[in-house]
Amino acid sequence: MVCLCNGKRSSRHSANRQRGANQLKRKILVIEKDQEKLDEISGILADAGHVVFWAQDDQEAIEIAEKTRPDVIVLFIQSPELHGFDIFQRLKNRGTTRDIGILLVIEKFVEDFVARAINLGASDYVIWPGSKDELLMRVNVVARAAEEKLKEQQALSRYREIFDGETHGFFLTTPEGKFLDCNETLVRMLGYDSKEELLEIDIEKHLYWDASDRKRFRAAMEKAGRVDGMCVHFKRKDGEKISILVSGEVVHDEKGRIIGYQGENIQVREDRRACATGEGYVRSFLKQIIPALPFGGQLMSFMKITELIGERYEKVKRLGIGSFGEVWKVRDIESSQKDFFLVAKIPLEKKLNPQFKKEAKILEKLLGHPNAVRLEDVVYHRDLFVLIQEYVEGDTLEKKTVLGVEPRDAESIIRQLVDIVAYAHSFQIAHRDLKPENIVVQSRGNVKLLDFGSAKDLSQKTYSSTIIGSRPYMAPEQIMGKSTIASDVWAIGVIMYLLYTSYLPFYHEVQEDLVDMILKYDPIPPSEFNPDIDTNIEEIILKCLKKDLGERYRDAIELKEDLLRINPDYGKKKAMNNLNTTDHSEQQRRRSL
């Protein structure tokens, strides 16, 4: 091993050091003004197998420490003209160097001086001149201590990442039943003002709805040795009863006595078939991370708490949140199919309930159509009206257009889209937000139209005065706040244009300019981008994009008739094959609405 001094090879210590070969190689920065002492210490460290850097002033020391990230800094803190204490304080005050272990070399022991340095963050000290073996021993101890501190910091960081980043509630308790920690999700779930307030409560008296819930949970754990997704009732701060799922297993001591409970259901994987993998992960987490935590020795339980929606639907993963509500992937705990997922749409506040009820009524009218997202159930959750819908797997049309869509696939998608919109129009329902993000193409080609949250029943009037939609797909009248059934036809025309040309008919990054283009200009004919497009299809697209409502298709029913008149088999073969293989929908429905 060689000694590196300021990053350069030192000929003085370039000989092969066999006696340091079996020792862990570390990077050491030595800071000393005196060249003779510097060479002496560097030689000892290099002989022991370490890589050594040195510096002779404060600026050089900071630069090398930040560049090389040494395992240990050896600082001659009492060296004349070095201003060692100033260097020490600068190293400890910088974020890039404060966690590096510092071994102080003391030439004259002064108790107050050393105590002050230790209190300010020095790792250890050694008297010099002194024993070479003691110097090496203390260097290794400082390095090991710094490594252990880093591991603890990484453990805490990982713990907080898992603990606070989870959308499920988590808490840690002591054997005496006192809270050690909890995440913000649990604080919100239980309605407390702060984590500190929740951590002060008596678990036995204030967490469980009543004593029977606590006893039932303990009895199940002690009898079976573990529980997985047991339904228990907790009490919110306001006294409201909530239903949650708890999972865990009994922890025994070396004599087989029950000493506590260990939660074992962190969902690192969504697929329930991967349960064993998840359990192994949690055991590893508890063994490796929890002992490194400041309160690791007090830990009795690590519990995952999942609140049930309507006392039936387990939250699995949050899919999104918007200005009106949040969308969750959920599992029906009453279903025998563990991997059968649903979607819960939850309003953000009670005053939005009427809007969600309107969406439910619209979805009820569309039940049975293979291209409409299916409404499975409606429940109340904390006075919020929640829609439970089918979980649709597949790629959005937005993603597919980025990758490129084959002409045959495009025709199948268009035919199915037109069919579901025409079906909705037969009930005078306008979707009002048709766009690729709201269209999912499943693995076998079946199309699902999602998000009827903006949909409107126009059976009582011909237009809506609300401005709703996504700009590149909005018709001129929709931009002006007067959307009609025919506004959906315009959006279909934009989607058809995109699928046939890979371009939007109107687009500008500046919203005002985009609006101006939609209101004033005609689209470039699709054939200019795709010379192979059928002229009849081009005419249909351009008719969909007529600004004058009198020149546009009145609704998707009329559009569908024209499309099939031109080509009765348009998109039919693939679409029909898919429709024949899709839906087990009625078989999968578990309760009628």
CATH number for the domain harbouring residue 216: 3.30.450.20
Q: What is the mean pLDDT of residues 510-539?
A: 94
List beta partners, residue 136: none
Q: Are residues 56 and 184 in the same domain?
A: no
Q: Which of 175-189, 293-307, 525-539, 557-571 comes out lowest in average pLDDT?
A: 293-307
Q: Are residues 131 and 206 in the same domain?
A: no
Q: Are residues 411 and 500 in the same domain?
A: yes
Is residue 56 domain-resident? yes
Is residue 160 domain-resident? no
Q: Which amino acid is at 575?
A: A
Q: Are residues 349 and 422 in the same domain?
A: no
For residue 501, pLDDT beyond 90:
yes
Write out the E strands in 393-514: 395-396, 429-430, 439-441, 447-449, 456-457
Q: Are residues 378 and 416 in the same domain?
A: no
Is residue 367 domain-resident? yes
Average pLDDT, the chain: 79
**Residue closest to 50 by CA, chosen among 24, 18, 76:** 24
Q: Are 261 and 246 a contacting pair, CB within 8 Å?
A: no
**Residue closest to 491 by CA, chosen among 422, 435, 568, 551:** 435
Q: Are residues 357 and 300 in the same domain?
A: no
Cα angle value 372/373/378 (rounded, 5°): 125
Q: pLDDT (tens digit, 9 = 90+) per residue, 325-359?
A: 899 999 998 888 877 899 999 999 999 999 999 99
Q: Where does the pLDDT of residue 557 fall: very low under 50, low under 70, confident under 90, or very high at 90 and above? A: very high
Instruction: State which of 390, 421, 443 marks the end of a domain.
Output: 390
Higher pLDDT among residues 52 and 466, named by residue:
52
For residue 13, pLDDT beyond 70:
no
Catalytic positions, written as ranges = 433
Q: Which of 125-134, 414-423, 524-533, 577-586 comes out lowest in average pLDDT?
A: 577-586
In the DSSP assignment, the letter for residue 109 is -
Q: Give yes or no for a cis peptide into 129 (omega within 30° of 0).
A: yes
For residue 260, pLDDT beyond 80:
no
Q: pLDDT (tens digit, 9 = 90+) per residue, 138-166?
A: 999 999 888 877 776 766 666 566 556 66
CATH number for the domain harbouring residue 367: 3.30.200.20
CATH number for the domain harbouring residue 128: 3.40.50.2300
pLDDT at residue number 254: 52
Q: pLDDT (tens digit, 9 = 90+) per residue, 411-422?
A: 999 999 999 999
CATH number for the domain harbouring residue 433: 1.10.510.10
pLDDT at residue number 338: 75
Q: Are residues 416 and 556 in the same domain?
A: yes
Q: Are residues 114 and 174 in the same domain?
A: no
Q: What is the mean pLDDT of residues 102-116?
A: 86
Chain length of the chain: 593
Q: Is the full-model pTM beyond 0.85? A: no
Instruction: State which of 390, 417, 441 marks the end of a domain.
Output: 390
Is residue 89 domain-resident? yes
For residue 245, pLDDT beyond 50:
yes
pLDDT at residue number 249: 58
Is residue 42 domain-resident? yes
Q: pLDDT (tens digit, 9 = 90+) per residue, 58-74?
A: 889 999 999 999 999 99
Q: Calculate what percentage of the chain has a pLDDT beyond 90.
A: 43
Q: Are residues 469 and 361 in the same domain?
A: no
CB count in 10 Å sphere of residue 155: 18
Q: What is the largest CA-CA distance in the chain?
A: 101
Is residue 461 domain-resident? yes
The structure tokens 């862990």 sit at: 24
Number of domains the chain is built from: 4
Is residue 159 domain-resident? no
Q: Which of 217-226, 232-241, 423-432 comes out lowest in average pLDDT?
A: 217-226
Q: pLDDT (tens digit, 9 = 90+) per residue, 265-317?
A: 332 222 333 333 334 444 444 444 454 454 444 444 556 677 789 888 988 88
In the DSSP assignment, the letter for residue 4 is E
For residue 189, pLDDT beyond 80:
yes
In the DSSP assignment, the letter for residue 203 is I
pLDDT at residue number 160: 62
Q: Are residues 287 and 196 in the same domain?
A: yes
Calculate the alpha carbon distances from 494 to 133, 395, 409 in Å: 79, 19, 17
Q: What is the mean pLDDT of residues 192-212?
A: 86
Q: Are residues 463 and 525 in the same domain?
A: yes
Q: What is the mean pLDDT of residues 398-412?
A: 89
pLDDT at residue number 330: 92
Q: What is the mean pLDDT of residues 24-33?
A: 90
Domain of residue 551, residue span: 395-588
Is residue 446 domain-resident? yes
